[in-house]
Structure 1
């Protein structure tokens, strides 16, 4: 197999804008990137100018490079986004550990208003979003409050007579979420309910007031525009492998919440940051402005999505907020970065040990398969993947059994065969079967039939349904360290839970239908 530098040296990359794609020896897409100058960017990899752990892992697996020339940077950005969305290359930034934060959505409809908690945003003139909330419980309390204010009248569901009435109630919801005088309004209602010994209602008002106060609390002596949404962010490269980014979210001039991320670097800090922001704002609310420190203007921002309005501020009030962001940022690093580094080192150590123990050269895709059923009914086969040592849920797949024979081996053959018939399936380097020798042998036959070179091992459970030991195709027990055993036990527990999850969903559906 040629090394990466040989591949680059034997190719002739153009000095034009475009998108490049890295493939492995199974012709699976590893990474999609963009560049103003394709030749310069690819040679940056080959010359070792980009040397993070994740970059080294990427280029060590790359056996083929393809590129597409486009007219300008804007076209390359659009093409890159489309390719990543469609093909989901595993080395592109993926917020697989991102906790989704809820928003409240108030929308005007023909028959009235709809108030809901949502994790997806689709802004239009008929909808108003408020968030993100740090906790779903906070969003739920405010939702109940809004519903009691505009959706009911004296305990009865309100009728919306016309569009003017809908518009009026819509604006009341917006005011409640934006203007602090409503807190006094609800405090009076709470006191009245308490006087009338309606203690449960009074408690509901108390909880809602508490959330509203937290939500509408503003920093002192900071004058922000009241009708626009702002995100303030600060980031730094912590080491060659990671950078850290912290957001403060301001909605309608008030501080709402904050969050921080530790992101692994692919390529370099600059490109990883811009790729992250493009990906993050594709999934999350895009504010009117994203405020950054003027020092960050030296980065090349030409590839930032045009929908993201970046501003390098000199405004004193904004700079004061950025100082608060910075302080929280370094507090987060102090509390989390060392643990994150230890986690990365531990995963790398375990993967290195797995390579030695199981005789494989790569461990970037470790797959596991398991069945779930009750008395051979509602049979479900689950398949999961650990990518570079971490479970990546976007590669989870489940399959319903459609055969006639009954038995775990038949179920596993059917599920894995269906998986491999999907043209976008991800090929494993190593596959662990939840089961014994019969399952292991059949899975190995299926892989060979599809010309997939991957070693297969069995994870055998004890009577307590926990991992007992690992076997090879000769039914020999494989001795592993405690760290590797714990890691493989985690894989077995994860695939078991995934298969059971979808079995239980089918069971509930069956009960409801009956």
Structure 2
């Protein structure tokens, strides 16, 4: 206890009047700010303990030294105290409490209603009529599940407005990811069968789906409908492969696996989501103010703040598997059970398959924290700042940026550079030679590059970016929006990087798709520095590609593109006429007079060298 506190705060007098009932206490500093919120089964015993210990941690000693007053709220039960504590922590975010930083919503898979419902990505309030499956830990998990579903059960994933205005099948139909309900290529009964199987898959009943498909494959084979039987066979194979990857051995229900790991004063909590017996992936959290908090305190505070938040997407599963037993485990079970409306088990002592899952979560937490510490420098801070400035629901893990380069329309090249949390991912860089557009039309060039890039990603199940940067303003953003809409790419944040009125570095304006107006970041913003780095890298890569293409085109002869005119005939033609300029001036009769040049080939040469006369 700090001597100064004795003069400004009568601790003994306060403790004498304190009740022994359950409740919440709030510790305030000299400025009246709440610096710590706690709950207690016995308020008097719990608060007194702060001023009686002699072996407190540095965190507790520092806390006690700053206390100038304490406020209490008496509750009927300890469970009520836990809920009130969580609400006060969330509201005031005291500096000495363990804080859950990430409080964003989770994504879901949404199945709409109607004769031809759609499956799609959803985040936010669940207002639309239909079914919601999840929550999923991140956007990537939703994309992976939707991609799997499209390959196995081709239910449409396009927006309703897009679906209603089609008069011919789109790309998804051509690559066999949709059965074309928009143009009546499938009847309602057949489509609803794929919908039913998709629902069963999302509910973890893929074994039942396989049984049905096996029976149908045999029936189709008996009817000599071998093409249909082959389709069922492919669905069965894909489902079995998914099962091998997704099933938790011995588990068929819903549970979360949580592990906490600490190093260098930082805590990492790893959460794995098991739904319907399927591992939907994991999510990382780095709670704040955990420097001197032991693992049981961290995991207990995390569970309370995470699952007791008033959010529809924070569903409490029937069981939580942990690597350490939290403080007040029984109380957590009671309150979580009341929130969920059923029994909830919080278990830290597990064996067999469950122990292996907890061990896996621990290994992931250790690895993630090691990587986090290694990349906590400017790169990590830049990504976190970018997430905050753009209001992203989760940290972007993959950024792609496109730029266009040409010289007065000549040799147009588009670049695509890729960054992740570790910096440039050069193995994923791509260039696109732009063809068949009006020279100098940057909008058409951007449209072509984006179409080629994202069509290939869709066809090959490639990794989609979390954030797509376009070097340009509103016009370029419009092109990107059109491409993403046509290819039904969802969950990608689209941002244009305009140079601003003076075109000076540091004065860039960000045009965020779906938002009105432009956003300007301070010149010293780490988020702006990251955007500039990615944009400049795209610019450099585009210019290098353009210069290479331009140099190649200037070194090459237009004769090289003529079918049937090989190297020997080209040399003979140039020798006979004394150079390319004279070849261009020659007529068909002159050209055909050269040995080895037929009349037909001469006409082809003439047409190539005089495109305007066609």
Q: CA deviation at 1:230?
A: 1.7
Q: Is the 8 A contact 2:320 2:346 kept in 1?
A: yes
Match of residue 288 from structure 1: 318
Provide the C-alpha distance between the structure 2 equivalents of 1:44 and 1:125, rounded to a whole number of angstroms. 53
Among 256, 262, 265, the alignment partner of 1:231 is 256
Q: Kindly indicate whether residue 268 of structure 2 is the aligned counterpart of residue 244 of structure 1.
A: yes
Provide the C-alpha distance between the structure 2 equivalents of 1:488 and 1:61, rounded to a whole number of angstroms. 37
Q: Kindly indicate whether residue 217 of structure 2 is the aligned counterpart of residue 217 of structure 1.
A: no
Match of residue 483 from structure 1: none
Q: What are the within-5 Å matches in structure 2 for residues 163-174 of structure 1?
A: 171-174=196-199
Provide the C-alpha distance between the structure 2 equivalents of 1:166 and 1:87, rounded to a whole number of angstroms. 51
Match of residue 32 from structure 1: 37
Match of residue 474 from structure 1: none
1:271-323: CA deviations, max 9, x gaps?
Answer: 33212112222353422211235xx4484314424245313454422123223
User: How large is the RMSD of aligned CA atoms in angstroms?
Assistant: 5.6
How has the CA–CA distance of structure 1 residues 165 and 23 changed in structure 2, closer, same or farther, with 3 Å as cutoff?
A: farther
Give SS of 1:217's match. helix
Higher mean C-alpha displacement, 75-84 vs 331-340: 331-340
Q: Is the 8 A contact 2:115 2:192 kept in 1?
A: no
Q: Is the 8 A contact 1:115 1:147 kept in 2?
A: no
Runs of 5+ consecutive residues of structure 1 not aligned to the other structure: 189-204, 348-388, 397-462, 467-486, 498-514
Match of residue 366 from structure 2: 330
Among 1, 4, 20, the alignment partner of 1:15 is 20
Q: CA deviation at 1:158?
A: 8.1
Provide the C-alpha distance between the structure 2 equivalents of 1:390 and 1:39, rounded to a whole number of angstroms. 43
Q: Is the 8 A contact 1:2 1:63 kept in 2?
A: no
1:143-162: CA deviations, max 9, x gaps?
Answer: 76699426776341789x99
Among 101, 108, 117, the alignment partner of 1:103 is 108
How has the CA–CA distance of structure 1 residues 88 and 117 changed in structure 2, closer, same or farther, with 3 Å as cutoff?
A: farther
Provide the C-alpha distance between the structure 1 equivalents of 2:184 and 2:12, rounded to a whole number of angstroms. 72
Provide the C-alpha distance between the structure 1 equivalents of 2:388 and 2:63, rounded to a whole number of angstroms. 20
Match of residue 303 from structure 2: 277
Q: TM-score, normalised by structure 2?
A: 0.43
Q: Kindly indicate whether residue 165 of structure 2 is the aligned counterpart of residue 141 of structure 1.
A: no
Give SS of 2:336's match. coil
Q: Kindly indicate whether residue 295 of structure 2 is the aligned counterpart of residue 262 of structure 1.
A: no
Provide the C-alpha distance between the structure 2 equivalents of 1:91 and 1:157, rounded to a whole number of angstroms. 61
Q: CA deviation at 1:168?
A: 6.5
Q: CA deviation at 1:251?
A: 2.2
Provide the C-alpha distance between the structure 2 equivalents of 1:266 and 1:303, rounded to a whole number of angstroms. 25
Q: Is the 8 A contact 1:291 1:312 kept in 2?
A: yes
Match of residue 136 from structure 2: 131
1:401-430: CA deviations, max 9, x gaps?
Answer: xxxxxxxxxxxxxxxxxxxxxxxxxxxxxx
Count of equivalent residues: 343
Q: Is the 8 A contact 2:109 2:132 kept in 1?
A: no
Q: What are the within-5 Å matches in structure 2 for residues 302-313 of structure 1?
A: 302-304=330-332, 305-307=335-337, 308-313=344-349
1:385-412: CA deviations, max 9, x gaps?
Answer: xxxx999969x9xxxxxxxxxxxxxxxx
Runs of 5+ consecutive residues of structure 2 not aligned to the other structure: 158-177, 218-233, 338-343, 392-503, 508-521, 533-614
Match of residue 156 from structure 1: 182
Q: Is the 8 A contact 1:14 1:39 kept in 2?
A: yes
Among 55, 69, 82, the alignment partner of 1:77 is 82
How has the CA–CA distance of structure 1 residues 130 and 56 changed in structure 2, closer, same or farther, with 3 Å as cutoff?
A: same
How has the CA–CA distance of structure 1 residues 36 and 242 changed in structure 2, closer, same or farther, with 3 Å as cutoff?
A: farther
Provide the C-alpha distance between the structure 2 equivalents of 1:100 and 1:337, rounded to a whole number of angstroms. 26
Q: Is the 8 A contact 1:229 1:289 kept in 2?
A: yes
Q: What are the within-5 Å matches in structure 2 for residues 325-364 of structure 1?
A: 325-337=361-373
Q: What are the within-5 Å matches in structure 2 for residues 356-395 of structure 1?
A: none
Q: Is the 8 A contact 1:102 1:139 kept in 2?
A: no
1:117-136: CA deviations, max 9, x gaps?
Answer: 23458799954326334616
Looking at secondary structure, tell me which structure has more strand per residue. Answer: 1
How has the CA–CA distance of structure 1 residues 176 and 61 changed in structure 2, closer, same or farther, with 3 Å as cutoff?
A: same
How has the CA–CA distance of structure 1 residues 120 and 9 changed in structure 2, closer, same or farther, with 3 Å as cutoff?
A: farther
Q: Is the 8 A contact 1:131 1:251 kept in 2?
A: no
Q: Is the 8 A contact 2:258 2:321 kept in 1?
A: yes
How has the CA–CA distance of structure 1 residues 267 and 323 changed in structure 2, closer, same or farther, with 3 Å as cutoff?
A: closer
Among 172, 175, 200, the alignment partner of 1:175 is 200
How has the CA–CA distance of structure 1 residues 130 and 259 changed in structure 2, closer, same or farther, with 3 Å as cutoff?
A: closer
Q: Is the 8 A contact 2:261 2:366 kept in 1?
A: no
How has the CA–CA distance of structure 1 residues 126 and 219 changed in structure 2, closer, same or farther, with 3 Å as cutoff?
A: closer
Q: CA deviation at 1:328?
A: 2.8
Match of residue 370 from structure 1: none
Q: TM-score, normalised by structure 1?
A: 0.50
1:53-91: CA deviations, max 9, x gaps?
Answer: 5x6665565433201112221111122233345555565
Give SS of 2:305's match. helix
Provide the C-alpha distance between the structure 1 equivalents of 2:331 and 2:39, rounded to a whole number of angstroms. 8
